[in-house]
Chain A
Amino acid sequence: MSIAAKANALWEYANPRKFLETSERVLPFFWITSGFCIVVGLVWGFFFTPDDYKQGSTVKIIYLHVPAALMAINCWLMMLATSLVWLVRRHHVSALAARAAAPIGIVMTLIALATGAIWGQPMWGTWWAWDPRLTSFLILFLFYLGYVALWEAIEDPDTAADLTAVLCLVGSVFALLSRYAVNFWNQGLHQGASVMRAGAITGTDTEEKVSNIYFYPLLLCIVGFVLLFVALVLYRTGTEIRARRIKALLARERARG
């Protein structure tokens, strides 16, 4: 198959019926593998890795904190992509997927903030600090809230999809801007990127990095969270499509009198 034909095949899933059929077929796979990865990763991480010599057992909160934080950001990126697809190609499934993803993003952001606070209390001696990373996450949370609130406020589904898509685009720019503005505004307490760094893995840099004992279960948890996110988005998008259909059917009934 040529690349163009493959690209065309991808757009076939913009057909709601095709999307529902396929998602129903692949969903069990995503549920099971994500459940497996998360359970194995968490059990491995919680019970079969040693306590850190400085942080004790609190280090193990990393298995929830890092994957949740990762998904909170990637969820917004996914919404940005689907919003763009909706604006350009007007596929309803795309707009509904963005709508379905937003509450998941909110929950992931909350998990990241909450686990961070629980870890920060014994380690930094405070539940909350106005550190750039923490602050940007709080701002991201506010962006999610505004996005969901706008979806809920508008009755006409197409207008709502259009307006939220534009808000998502503009919001992305400002969210990114806020991230750097916040960096400028205050010095950080949070450590830098320490999970995936090419230099750290090959051993060329000696800065602190998550050691391998913790890395493998963490990787498993991250994979599990990614799969869980995909499963949730597919599932919720299916629900949105069905809800939209019920609304249309009811409207037709009423029109018939």
Chain B
Amino acid sequence: MIALLLRDLKLSFRAGGGFGLGLAFFLIVTVLVPFSVGPQSALLSTIAPGVLWLGALLACLLSLDRLLALDWEDGSLDLLATAPLPLESVVTIKALAHWITTGLPLVLVAPVLGVLLNLPVPGFSWLVISLLIGTPALSVIGTFGAALTVGLKRGGLLLSLLVLPLYVPTLIFGAEVARRGATGMETSAPVLMLAGITAASVALLPFASAAVLRINLR
């Protein structure tokens, strides 16, 4: 398992792995927002938590189609499926690798982008906390979507159509935590709900992803 994780991490960090693309996308989205809504700092600080969450979610989505497709193309997915490691563990590791290379960096740069959008000071810690709790769910749900569309030639657009509705609850609670945090409101209820979604997704969805992958590998 650790070997597989290290392999995935190495592949994504090296040339052509696409590491950093998501971060660059996140940065560009954040820079484009003031151009589209105007530079008034009061307006920006109101929408900052939601915009940052949406940017992180889209950046996560962007890298999903590489998650399994490359392994599918060169046949290593078939090898992994016949390996003694259960396919459930394989998809969990894949999701973990995706989170380490996409979700975690997003969490780390989010406060910097928060400065650009004039995020209120109490909002910073809540933004980081909500992203830290919520992005694993995004990776796991995304892995399910990637497993569904892995055999398709032009699966990219379909992948977004399938995954985005599944992201709705995570986005609602995640952005709610960040928004409430920014305005100094009580945050414990959405934090618990967000943590619950993440915990349930991590616990259950790998089984669905593995089942779907088996169907696709048939």
In chain A, residues 142-169, which have Cβ atoms closer than 8 Å to a Cβ of chain B? 142-143, 145-146, 149-150, 153-154, 159, 162-163, 166-167, 169
Is B215 in contact with A174, judged by CB distance below 8 angstroms? Answer: no
Number of CB contacts from chain A to chain B under 8 A = 74
Contacts of A145 in B (CB 8 A): 161
The 8 A CB mask of B171-193 against A (1 = contact, 0 = none) is 01100100000000000011001
- Which residues does chain B contribute within 8 Å of A166, judged by CB atoms? 148, 208, 211-212, 215
Q: Which of A150, A170, A178, A185 has the most CB of B within 10 A?
A: A170
Is B216 a contact partner of A170 (Cβ separation < 8 A)?
A: no
**Are A170 and B155 also in contact (CB < 8 A) when A159-B215, A162-B215, A184-B172 are?**
no
Q: Is B121 an interface residue (CB 8 A)?
A: no
In the complex, are the beta carbons of B168 and A174 less than 8 A apart? yes
Would you give the shortest CB distance from A227 to chain B, in whole angstroms?
Answer: 30
Within 8 A of A (CB), among B77-126: none
Known: A150-B148, A154-B152, A163-B148. A184 touches B162 (CB 8 A): no
B193-A159 in contact (CB<8A)? no
List of B residues within 8 angstroms of A219 by Cβ: none
User: Quick one: CB contact mask for B137-170 with A, threshold 8 Å, 1 for yes?
Assistant: 0000000100011011001001001101110110
Question: How many B residues, CB 8 Å from partner?
Answer: 28
- The CB with the most chain A CB atoms within 10 A, among B144, B164, B166, B197, is that of B166
Chain A 175-219 near chain B by CB (<8 Å), digits 1 or 0: 101100110110000000000000000000000000000000000
In angstroms, how far is the closest chain B Cβ from the Cβ of A86? Answer: 12
State how many angstroms separate the Cβ of A206 from the closest Cβ of chain B. Answer: 31
- Whether B212 lies near A181 (C-beta < 8 A) is no
B171: shortest Cβ distance to chain A, in Å?
Answer: 9
Contact A163:B168 (CB < 8 A) given known A149-B161, A153-B152, A185-B176: no
B44 in contact (CB, < 8 A): no
* Pair A171/B215 contact, Cβ less than 8 Å: no
User: Separation in Å of the A102 CB from the closest CB of chain B?
Assistant: 14
A181→B164 contact, CB < 8 A: no
Q: Which of A139, A159, A163, A171 has the most CB of B within 10 A?
A: A163
Contact of B14 with A by CB under 8 A = no
* In the complex, residue of chain A having the shortest beta-carbon distance to the beta carbon of B208: A170
Given contacts A153-B158, A170-B144, A184-B190, contact A143 B208 (CB under 8 A): no
Query: Complex: how many Å from CA A163 to CA B148?
Result: 7
| Chain A: minimal CB distance from B97 (Å) | 22
Is the pair A149, B158 in contact by a Cβ cutoff of 8 Å?
Answer: yes
By a CB distance below 8 angstroms, the chain B residues around A143 are 165
Q: How far is the CB of B78 from chain A (nearest CB, A)?
A: 16
Interface CB pairs A-B, < 8 A, 29: A139-B165, A145-B161, A146-B158, A146-B161, A150-B149, A150-B162, A159-B151, A159-B215, A159-B218, A163-B148, A163-B212, A163-B216, A166-B148, A166-B208, A166-B215, A167-B162, A170-B144, A170-B205, A170-B208, A171-B165, A174-B169, A175-B165, A177-B197, A178-B172, A181-B168, A181-B172, A181-B193, A182-B172, A184-B190
> Given contacts A159-B216, A182-B168, could you give 8 more A-B pairs where the C-beta distance is less than 8 Å?
A139-B168, A143-B165, A145-B161, A159-B215, A163-B148, A163-B212, A163-B216, A170-B166
